[in-house]
Amino acid sequence: MVAMATAKRIETFEDFVKVHGILLAASGLPESLHRRLFQKLSTETFDGGEHFQIEPCEDNRMRRLVLTSDSMAKNSNVFLIDHAWTFRLSDAYKQLREVPGLAERMSSLMCVDIDTNLDGENDVNDVDDEASREKLGVVEIVESEVLEAKEKGDGTLRWLELDDLDIDDDMFLSLDLPARFPNLVALSLYGNKLTSAELVVQEVTKFKHLKGLWLNNNPVLKNGDGELADIFLKELPELEIYNSTFTRNFAEWALGFCADIYGKDNPTNANQADSPLLSASNLDISNRNVHNLINKEFSPSCLPSLSYLNIRGNPLEQNSVSDLLDLLRQFPCLRSLEVDIPGPLGGSAIEIMESLPNISEINGISASKILEIGKHVIDSVLLPRLPEWNPDEPIHDRIISAMWPYLMTYRLANEEKLDETSVWYVMDEFGSALRHSDEPNFRVAPFLFMPEGYLLTPALLMIELAFSILWPTRNVCKGDECTRDYLLGIGEDKQRSARLTAWFHTPENYFIQEYAKHNQKLQSTSLIPPTVQSSERSIRPHEGRPLRVYTDIPHVEENLTHPEFAINISPILSKGFDHNWVGTVGASLLSEAFPGFLRIANLPPLVPMWKRSPGEEEQDDIMMSSPVKDPKDADIIWTCVQVDEEMKKATGITDQQYINQFPFEACLVMKHHLAETIQKAHGSPQWLQPTYNLETHLSQLIGDYYLRKREGLDNLWILKPWNMARTIDTAVTDNLPAIIRLMETGPKICQKYIEQPALFQGKKFDLRYIVLVRSMHPLEIFLSDCFWVRIANNQYSLAKSSLFEYETHFTVMNYRGRINHKNIKDFVREFEEEHQVKWLDIHARVRNMIRSVFEAAAVAHPEMHNPTSRAMYGVDVMLDGSFQPKLLEVTYCPDCTRACKYDMDIVVGEGGVAKGCDFFNNVFKCLFLNEISQVSPL
């Protein structure tokens, strides 16, 4: 980055490249286009309208970008895209409400501003006149069909379509269709107003030669469609298609209809000697509710020319996989197949292809490419996710739900730090019209322009300096749709197919199957409890001197006053700690986050947060001023940073010194490892909400989400970074695309949100417990009698807008909002009165849960054992509406400000008063002197 003191305004192309060189390289823009980009940025030239056109598609619920120039060669031009909306997630609702015109622009860009007439009301002045005109229109249509039959054939009407004409029961009866057209083969009454099942049965069953009947979208089907279907099948033995699905009688006519052989112009096979199916090459019987495909008509002898077959959306449960594969192998010309995966032919595209060696294409993907990319689940016809809303939904809620497919993200940085919170943005109408393709013809990249030669302020950056740039990566012709890859650089090793669910309707059955396998594994897991032992181990020196304690934690320095401990403090252990917070930004994300600003000047190499044990809350940016002594002289090292082999080598710390951390304790204090540890030992205990590591188990999470949606269960989830404290980058949402897109801001777990927590005076709360670990093998742990409650500031709500309110859904207020401090004795008394419960019963359940957590670590990770480790952990607990404890997280080196600052009336154990000044005395006595005071064994 160019320093502000020496920077000058960019006036030449050479200056532009000098300042923006890293950004240009990271964007991927060909060098041949660098000068043109400089010219367009310098003159603010937005000339996309001269080459492209935005067109509506998907019934006006999406837009696409089409080239209007005669052609555009690969890497021949570059275009600027403005950013229409830039925001931090917590500010989204506020900006939509307060920024003039923003909600209107976003609702139009995202196609959620159209209130379609969903209730079927007619905008007419005279209802009677309208009904009269409709009736006249139906009669005229019927007469027109009769006339056409006479002109084109023998005068016998065999195919009649009367769709969406508001035909009610009286009108249907007055038409007297069975008497006038007894030889009808197909009758469509789609989208009318028929309500009487008795009348419909009476009239329709008079058509004795009927092969196709469509009553879709009529009120008569709401309550009795199953009964109607049984009656029609009994009374109309030739019926092969009913309401767009095949009946069990389907045969040559139904197959011919789906092969585009039979229709209005050719209702039946006039020449019975030759079957039209003999020449059929394409057959699409998708979504026809076919249960049994093996019959006389669907056979190689009847369909010898069949080369393309689509059997998607059919259960086919009456046929085994092997029988279906045997049947399909017999079709001599079959080369292209569309089928659900997993589905009736199995769960793997590769296995299907191996079983059908003559097939050259499955779901639009060539067999060679399937082998090359190694994909088991493939789909060429993924339908886009279109915005959904109800007419009464506020426009802000519509936008928040619909925005995720349009969003892109980056993080800001300067020489001092990388922002904890990501920036999200929506490209303007031009950029947002670019749809996805796995083989795109354009590429988009974010770009920062610094005309002054340096970065000014984050606010100015977000508003004025951030653009996206677009250029062709293939030759494009006039009329071609212009596309980009939404997941550029993300392959199947990073769950590409699953992540496409953010933009497309992916195969639900596949993900549900993946979830089922995952859940079955969890349910079959049970714990073998570890050995338990109470020791009398004290580490008092034989010579009777005090134990020397080396710490970088102010609360320990100030409050450890017991005469058998002597404090020595040094800043050495804090080196680098102030910038370790860089957190969950991986290398791939950094390049997306404008890497020109990610160089941290004159700082040691950054240590990603997920590679260290976390400190928490008030221990960031510790500055020491006490006298320095060599840490290798201490008996006990009590620090908020990770003491690894590198640290030991640098400071002279030995394996004989006692340290307040256990090896491999990441299995407890990192959220994804904590869930894995518990699942490995306990499976899916009631006290752990369903939890998924999105970096490895996205498919299983999607399956759980889909299944919950099918069953009508609540679907609110919370996303937490692996190793960020203070709820940084944490979000609550019921939106599946949001869950998937939020992965882009760093590694996360996704956990089922506790939608109905126990509340205190209408507010959400959680509880912080302190656990002391003396040994992992045998397991020897203690629970401090001091615990405290953290209460949200706002009344609890599940309104969509509230999900963005920190003070409604989160309880840690040390860093934002106001701290709602509550004495634990008063809290317990008032909670018992409010809910008519006994706190000691709740406390017993919490103790059992905490014990189970550490048992899981002892069993799943025996490598944690170390005779010279002693540790204190914070365990955060929430109560659900039934007052059952739920584990939130385990924290290394927890912030104990409240325990040291306030005297507490102890409400558990033997009671009494816990003096704040004695908190760390009691902790150290338990861990190192084997003296128990205001702690209890677990």
pLDDT-based confidence at residue 456 (cuts at 50, 70, 90): low
> By the 8 A CB rule, do 380 and 364 touch?
yes
* Architecture of the 13-111+387-486 domain: Beta Complex (2.170)
* Residues composing the chain: 938
pLDDT-based confidence at residue 801 (cuts at 50, 70, 90): confident
**Residue 478 vs residue 354, higher pLDDT:** 478
* CATH classification for the domain delimited by 141-271, as one of 3.40.50.9100, 3.50.50.60, 3.40.50.80, 3.80.10.10: 3.80.10.10
Q: What is the pLDDT of residues 536-556, one digit of tens each?
A: 567 887 777 899 999 999 999
Q: Do domains 13-111+387-486 and 277-384 have the same CATH topology?
A: no
Residue with tokens 């126990």: 758
pLDDT-based confidence at residue 117 (cuts at 50, 70, 90): very low
pTM of the shown model: 0.76
Distance, in Å, from the CA atom of 628 to the CA atom of 621, rounded to the nearest integer, reads: 18
Q: What single letter denotes the amino acid at residue 583?
A: G
pLDDT at residue 271 in the model: 67
Helix (H, G, I), strand (E, B) or coil at 429: helix
Instruction: Give the mean pLDDT of 789-813.
Output: 84
CATH class of residue range 277-384: alpha beta
Q: Which residues contact 921 (CB under 8 A, 6 or more apart)?
A: 559, 560, 561, 562
Percent of the chain with pLDDT over 70: 84
Instruction: Give the mean pLDDT of 220-225.
Output: 79
Distance, in Å, from the CA atom of 142 to the CA atom of 612, rounded to the nearest integer, reads: 78
Percent of the chain with pLDDT over 90: 64
Range of 250-259, 388-397, 636-645 with top mean pLDDT:
250-259
Instruction: Give the mean pLDDT of 336-350.
Output: 87
pLDDT at residue 728 in the model: 77
Domains of the chain: which residue ranges?
A: 13-111+387-486, 141-271, 277-384
Q: What single letter denotes the amino acid at residue 626?
A: S
Helix (H, G, I), strand (E, B) or coil at 319: coil
Q: What is the pLDDT of residues 405-444, one digit of tens each?
A: 999 998 766 555 555 678 999 999 999 999 999 899 999 9
Query: Is the backbone peptide bond immediately before 721 cis, with ω within 30 degrees of 0?
Result: no
**In the chain, how many H helices and how many E strands?**
30, 41
> By the 8 A CB rule, do 483 and 442 touch?
yes
- Ranges 101-115, 522-536, 822-836: which has the least confidence: 522-536
Is 849 exposed, middle or buried, given 0-12, 13-18 or 19+ CB atoms closer than 10 A?
buried
Q: What is the pLDDT of residues 681-739, one digit of tens each?
A: 999 999 999 999 999 999 999 999 999 998 999 999 999 998 776 667 889 999 999 99
> By the 8 A CB rule, do 353 and 362 touch?
yes
pLDDT-based confidence at residue 531 (cuts at 50, 70, 90): low
Distance, in Å, from the CA atom of 506 to the CA atom of 496, rounded to the nearest integer, reads: 12
pLDDT at residue 453 in the model: 75
Helix (H) / strand (E) element for 252: namely helix 252-258
Tally Cβ neighbours within 10 Å of residue 202.
Answer: 12
Write down the mean pLDDT value for the chain.
85
Range of 59-63, 354-358, 433-437 with top mean pLDDT:
433-437
| Structural tokens at position 408 | 């892109």
pLDDT-based confidence at residue 53 (cuts at 50, 70, 90): very high
